[in-house]
Structure 1
Amino acid sequence: MIELRPLRQFVAVAEELHFGRAARRLLMTQPPLTQAVQALERALQVQLLQRTRRSVALTPAGEALLVQARRLLREAEALPELVRAAAAGLSGRLRLAFVSSIAYGPLPPWLSSFREHHPDVELQLREATMDVQLAALAAGDIDAGFVLHAPAAVPASLLALQVLIEPLVLALPAGHPAAVHETVRFEEVASEPLLIFPRGVAPSLFDAVLARYHAGGCAPRIAQEAIQLQTIVSLVSAGMGVAWVPASMTQLQRPGVVYRRVDPDAPQAHTSLLWREDSPVVQRFVAHVRAQLREQRQFAALEGVGSR
């Protein structure tokens, strides 16, 4: 093991090429400096300096050590600041999962602004459904995740921040008779083949969709299940049925698909940010999302005033 002090002493001698000047630079006397360099040579079992009465020169081994010693000393000097930054959540790694629907909504600008304000935080992103995210949070494989769920259906064991409330809208084949209207009546589509995600992916939202059918006095005719919302919309474009999707998915344009609001009483979808532990970097990200939500509310309020 080589300590930093003899490396610092060696670097001073290597840069000054004079033991006396190096000793004055280090605020020490020359004899212990000479002894320290000799001890370093013995520890490394190489000659670092060629000494004569008139000059000091670096050997090839000394030149190689000088490069690495400077690097190590720079890193050692930077270490306290790096540790303080990590403790404050200004650096480190954030493993973040998300459902696809929020990627068509506010997530991209949130990530962009977070990276701008926290350039030393490494973002590792993973698209995953709620069931996968909950398992990953329990296993410690992710730090936080955006999940899609029905109202009041967040696991009580996790910390949560609600970030989005939106209605479910109906994705219809463009040629469907009900598609001529901007809003369709539930009765017009209740008997259509339904494309939906498996219940295990998002149980509360699956149950909310089925509850809407039961409230209308009918049972859904499930034609096909698919995990990803993008896949479900693609199946709609193939004419295989209709699908309930979060309103943010209307940003996903597929040929042959139109999105329509349903009246009355369309189910609501909530998106929440979930996390298990308040690590510094997670705290930073949650605070950033909260700030973005405040800005959005303020902007919406200003727009409302301006439209009056």
Structure 2
Amino acid sequence: MDVRPLRHFAAVAETLHFGRAAERLGMTQPPLSQSIIALEKTLGAPLFVRSKRSVRLSPLGEAWLPEVLAALAAVDELPTTARRLRDGQTGLLSLSFVSTADYSVLPDLVSRYSRAFPDVEIGLVEATSDVQIPAIVAGERHAGIIIPPSDRALPEPLAYQRLVSEPLIAAAPAAWIADGRLAVEDGMLAPATIVDAPLILFPRTVAPAFHDLVTGYFARLGRPAHIVQEAIQMQTIISLVSAGLGVALVPASLRNLARAGVAYVEVRDPPTLETGLAWRRDDDTPTLREMLRLVGV
């Protein structure tokens, strides 16, 4: 349906006078009357009850007027909406993230972005890096917070920006420290203690970079890691530590995840975990563009 007859109907409905409505619209009365008649023919019912002295809305016209006014207001708003979409001030940003980011960079990043662009809907999905990377390549996500491969090699057309690097610390059953099963020296777990401890770790299939970082640390200490349990979420790993099934090496930001029965202790010469943002180089989505600007790309 053409918008012009709707504007003609609204003008007549608001003035209840064809002459004044035509003047408001900047047209003559005959074409206005013809436009209303054509609209009524399209609808199959009269919009006005006319007499020689007055014009009033028909029951259909009275019921339809609010809908028409709302539709016209939406049409009038379209240019502004287009500009806001163009400038990334509204729309959708789809962002995936590894579970470790939930305790480090994710809250601050989302908070800053939301303050800058309160009308943008942020779709958050937690996923391991191996799931995120093909999803971003396929265009199913705008960006993802990932743990990059050790060689930083990502498939085309992905780009990458480091967000944070942090040391790993030990998450250990508090009771094991209290009863001396894990020795603490100068506020750190003794290397001889940690190499003999049962380890809880991400499976290598879902987190190869993190897995290799941890097992490489044990190799430097001269012992292979004694892995007794695997889990794909950091919260689950901490729960297993709380249950006394073993220790885990986790990012230092995991101290923000308080759990009864878990003690966080530094280790000597800790490995460093890097977390960063990955996105498609050819993705020109305005909301993504503003996210990249926020992180300094």
**Cα deviation 1:188-236 (Å, max 9, x = unaligned):** 2101111001112211121121122222222111101011011111111
CA distance, structure 1, for counterparts of residue 131 and residue 84 of structure 2: 31
Segment of structure 1 superposing worse, 152-161 or 271-280: 152-161
Partner of 1:183: 188
Q: Which one-letter code corresponds to 1:269 in the other structure?
A: L
Shift, 1:113, TM fit: 2.8
Partner of 2:289: 283
CA distance, structure 1, for counterparts of residue 104 and residue 49 of structure 2: 67
Residues 195, 225 of structure 1: 8 Å contact kept = yes
Q: Cα gap change, 1:179/1:154 in structure 2, threshold over 3 Å: closer, same or farther?
A: farther
Partner of 1:148: 147
Partner of 1:211: 216
**1:274 and 2:273 matched:** no
Q: Which one-letter code corresponds to 2:233 in the other structure?
A: Q
Residues 105, 163 of structure 2: 8 Å contact kept = no
* Pairing of 1:1-308 with structure 2 (within 5 A): 2-149=1-148, 151-153=150-152, 155-157=154-156, 158-174=158-174, 175-176=176-177, 177=180, 178=182, 180-181=184-185, 182-264=187-269, 266-276=270-280, 277-290=283-296
Shift, 1:156, TM fit: 4.7
CA distance, structure 2, for counterparts of residue 118 and residue 61 of structure 1: 42
CA distance, structure 2, for counterparts of residue 289 and residue 200 of structure 1: 29
Residues 150, 270 of structure 1: 8 Å contact kept = no
Residues 151, 269 of structure 1: 8 Å contact kept = no
**Cα deviation 1:85-141 (Å, max 9, x = unaligned):** 111111111111112222212322332232222122111111111112123213322
**Cα deviation 1:170-195 (Å, max 9, x = unaligned):** 11111233364421232221011110
**Cα deviation 1:237-269 (Å, max 9, x = unaligned):** 1111111111111111111111111112x2111
Shift, 1:290, TM fit: 3.0
Partner of 1:306: none
CA distance, structure 2, for counterparts of residue 195 and residue 19 of structure 1: 80
CA distance, structure 1, for counterparts of residue 229 and residue 252 of structure 2: 21
What is the percentage of aligned positions where both structures have the same residue? 44
What SS class does the counterpart of residue 141 from structure 2 fall into?
A: coil
Q: Which one-letter code corresponds to 2:273 in the other structure?
A: A
TM-score, normalization: structure 1? 0.89
Q: Structure 2: any 5+ residue segments left out of the alignment?
A: none
Residues 22, 32 of structure 2: 8 Å contact kept = yes
Q: Which one-letter code corresponds to 1:273 in the other structure?
A: L
Q: Which one-letter code corresponds to 2:294 in the other structure?
A: H
Partner of 1:298: none
Q: Cα gap change, 1:193/1:145 in structure 2, threshold over 3 Å: closer, same or farther?
A: same
CA distance, structure 2, for counterparts of residue 19 and residue 200 of structure 1: 74
Q: Cα gap change, 1:35/1:179 in structure 2, threshold over 3 Å: closer, same or farther?
A: farther
Residues 191, 221 of structure 1: 8 Å contact kept = yes
Shift, 1:48, TM fit: 0.4
CA distance, structure 2, for counterparts of residue 214 and residue 113 of structure 1: 40
Partner of 1:299: none
Q: Cα gap change, 1:289/1:129 in structure 2, threshold over 3 Å: closer, same or farther?
A: same
What SS class does the counterpart of residue 290 from structure 1 fall into?
A: coil
TM-score, normalization: structure 2? 0.92
Segment of structure 1 superposing worse, 197-206 or 19-28: 197-206
CA distance, structure 2, for counterparts of residue 169 and residue 180 of structure 1: 13
Shift, 1:149, TM fit: 3.9
Shift, 1:285, TM fit: 1.3
CA distance, structure 2, for counterparts of residue 64 and residue 154 of structure 1: 62
RMSD: 1.6
What SS class does the counterpart of residue 284 from structure 2 fall into?
A: coil
